[in-house]
C-alpha cells in the first residue's frame, strides 16, 4: 500500500461512487487503509435489506412491508478498513449478501425512497472520519464531503473484474451489470464537484494511487 501523508480531520468524509462492479469496494478499502480510517459500504446495507426481504418472502415491490420488517429487526453495518460486515439480529449475513440472487434483486429494493432514507440515516450516524462508498454518497448523502471521487469503466471491463468473484460466465455477468446500470441510473451519479477517475486501463493499485493523489490535492 502506498505510504501517504494525508490527515483526515475528525469530521471528514471521503466519498467514492461508481457503477456496479466499478471496483469501488476494493478501491475504498485500499484508500481507507492508506488513510488509516474505516470504509463504509452503503451497497452492503442495500444488499442486506434485499437478502432479508427475499428470505422472508416479502414482495420486493412492497416498500412499506420491507420498511416494517427493517424497523422490527436489527440490521447493523460494521465498517472496518479491511472489509465491511453486516449483521442481522447479531448473525453475520455478509457472505449471503453477495450472491447472484441478491445481485439480481437489489436494484428493485434500492429504488424505494424510504429504504434509501433508512440507509442514509444509518450511514450518517456512523462515527467519522471514514471513506463512504456507493452510488450517491457524494451527490446526496455527504454533499459536504472533503473529497468526492467517481470511478468509471466500461461494462465489459467491470464484468471481467466481477467474473473473478461470481460463478457465471463473463457475458452473462455483463448483461446483468448492464441491466443493473439501467435500474440504478436514477440514484447513481457523480456529484458536480467529484473527481472522475477513468479506471478502464488501470489496475487496482493504480486506481488507489490516483485516488490518493486526488485526495492529497484537496485536503
| Interface residue list for ligand DC (CB under 6 A) | 20, 24, 42-43, 46-47, 106-107, 110, 134-137, 180, 184, 187
Question: Which CB sits closer to ligand DC, 4 or 105?
Answer: 105
CA atoms within 13 A on the CB side of 215: 30
Which DSSP state fits 137? I
Question: Which CB sits closer to ligand DC, 6 or 161?
Answer: 161
* Angle, CA 29 vertex, CA 25 and CA 33 arms, to 5°: 170
From the CB of 17, what's the least distance to ligand DC, in Å? Answer: 7
From the CB of 78, what's the least distance to ligand DC, in Å? Answer: 16
From the CB of 3, what's the least distance to ligand DC, in Å? Answer: 28
From the CB of 2, what's the least distance to ligand DC, in Å? Answer: 24
Whether the CA torsion 18, 203, 82, 105 is positive or negative: it is positive
Q: How far is residue 95 from each of residues 84, 87, 99, measured CA to CA in Å?
A: 11, 11, 8
Question: Which CB sits closer to ligand DC, 30 or 134?
Answer: 134
Residue 25 cell numbers, joined = 469496494
Question: Which CB sits closer to ligand DC, 29 or 42?
Answer: 42
Residue 77 cell numbers, joined = 453495518
Amino acid at each position: 500500500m502506498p505510504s501517504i501523508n494525508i490527515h483526515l480531520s475528525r469530521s471528514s468524509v471521503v466519498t467514492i461512487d461508481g457503477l456496479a462492479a466499478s471496483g469501488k469496494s476494493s478501491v475504498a478499502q485500499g484508500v481507507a487503509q492508506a488513510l488509516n480510517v474505516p470504509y463504509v459500504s452503503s451497497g452492503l446495507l442495500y444488499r442486506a435489506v434485499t437478502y432479508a426481504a427475499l428470505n422472508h418472502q416479502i414482495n420486493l415491490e412492497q416498500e412499506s412491508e420491507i420498511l416494517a420488517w427493517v424497523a422490527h429487526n436489527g440490521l447493523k453495518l460494521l465498517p472496518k478498513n479491511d472489509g465491511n460486515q453486516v449483521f442481522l439480529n447479531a448473525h453475520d449475513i455478509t457472505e449471503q449478501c453477495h450472491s447472484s440472487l441478491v445481485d439480481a434483486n437489489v436494484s428493485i429494493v434500492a429504488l424505494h425512497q424510504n429504504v434509501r432514507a433508512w440507509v442514509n440515516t444509518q450511514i450518517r450516524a456512523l462515527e467519522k472520519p471514514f471513506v463512504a462508498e456507493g452510488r450517491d454518497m457524494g451527490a446526496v448523502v455527504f454533499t459536504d464531503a472533503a473529497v468526492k471521487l467517481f470511478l468509471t469503466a466500461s461494462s465489459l471491463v467491470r464484468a471481467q473484474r466481477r467474473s473473478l468473484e461470481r460463478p457465471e460466465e463473463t457475458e452473462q455477468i455483463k448483461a446483468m451489470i448492464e441491466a443493473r446500470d439501467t435500474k440504478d441510473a436514477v440514484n447513481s451519479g457523480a456529484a458536480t464537484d467529484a473527481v472522475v477517475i477513468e479506471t478502464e486501463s488501470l489496475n487496482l493499485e493504480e486506481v488507489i494511487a490516483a485516488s490518493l493523489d486526488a485526495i492529497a490535492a484537496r485536503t
